[in-house]
Amino acid sequence: MSPDICLVTTIDDIEAVSNLAREIWTSHYTPIIGKPQVDYMLENFQNTKSISNQISEGCEYYLAKTGNEYVGYMALNADPVARKMKISKIYTLGKVRGTGVGNSLLDHTENICTSRDISRLWLTVNKNNDHAISWYKHHGFVVKDAVKVDIGGGFYMDDYVMEKVLEQ
């Protein structure tokens, strides 16, 4: 399944991202980090206002669409001076996992990096998200570090930092 991938530019796009986040995070992350932390993160980081603010600060959001349905999204933060790109978010609906949508989002990211002369991709992933860690490793990412970040509300993000060096 090869989705159409488009840059998020309108309020309707932003609302679509927020709606996807709610559906994906609730189903995928509740067993990993618990409902209270999922609710906190959605309310504080993945709502329409927060996403709009992130975009105004230079974060690029992209939506993946198959047919008439949004099936995934990602957010990228470039550091052109250091020649690296952070994959801040890359998520797909559970029903399309294993169909190539995630691969298409990652390929799109790598194409952006190539066009901008960016040589490294990096991300953080929850230490207990075994499926995602395995997927990233399969795609050439390696664990570089571990971090625990206080995100407020008594919650922490307990993550691995993973990185992939891109061929130039």
Per-residue pLDDT of the chain (168 residues; tens, 9 = 90+): 589 999 999 999 999 999 999 999 999 999 999 999 999 999 999 999 999 999 999 999 999 999 999 999 999 999 999 999 999 999 999 999 989 999 999 999 999 999 999 999 999 999 999 999 999 999 999 999 999 999 999 999 999 999 999 976
The pLDDT assigned to 168 comes to 64
For residue 145, the SS3 value is strand
CA separation for the pair 160, 71 (Å, rounded): 25
The pLDDT assigned to 167 comes to 79
What residue ranges do the domains of the chain occupy?
Answer: 4-119
Residue 104 has φ and ψ, to the nearest 5°, of -65, -40
CA separation for the pair 137, 34 (Å, rounded): 25
The pLDDT assigned to 1 comes to 59
Residue 140 has φ and ψ, to the nearest 5°, of 95, 5
Residue 167 has φ and ψ, to the nearest 5°, of -75, 135
The pLDDT assigned to 98 comes to 87
The pLDDT assigned to 51 comes to 97
The pLDDT assigned to 134 comes to 97
User: What is the maximum alpha-carbon separation in the chain?
Assistant: 43
CA separation for the pair 116, 136 (Å, rounded): 22
pTM: 0.94
Q: Which CATH architecture is the domain 4-119 placed in? A: 3-Layer(aba) Sandwich (3.40)
